[in-house]
Structure 1
């Protein structure tokens, strides 16, 4: 089964690593529809930016627990509500 790779900004990576953040958001765009709709993965690999291959301190591997569509308001996406995929990243 394939692996879903999600590069993250440092602040979001640290929040997921500490357990503070349990979902990662991606806008509903043709790019993410193709990767998430009707697909299943073995696991998710979260990375802090784009680390070197051997840098395990900047990578987290979690089991695939699915995603769901939802509407949120988040400073990262601007002041208006947007439709996103909420990808479960808790262990």
Structure 2
């Protein structure tokens, strides 16, 4: 049986918020290590999958660093908000 869609769960904006103060620096540190490793083996397509992409702000930050990000989130409202703010992102509802 499929779980019901999450509704009424919406960020007030599609930008980075206080919760990203811990998450985003840690992710960017890991990404920096991957980028450093990638330069040793030559340039390859940089792709990431973000589970629980929410408002799209982290996916957007990663695309600005040259990554091809695909994201999913169970909330149709979050995905709609993210696609409005960042129409270039490849985000889908679960």
TM-score with structure 2 setting the length: 0.25
For the pair shown, which has the larger CA radius of gyration, 1 or 2? Answer: 2
Larger relative strand fraction: 1
Q: Which has the higher contact order (CA 8 A, sep 6+)?
A: 1
Larger relative helix fraction: 2
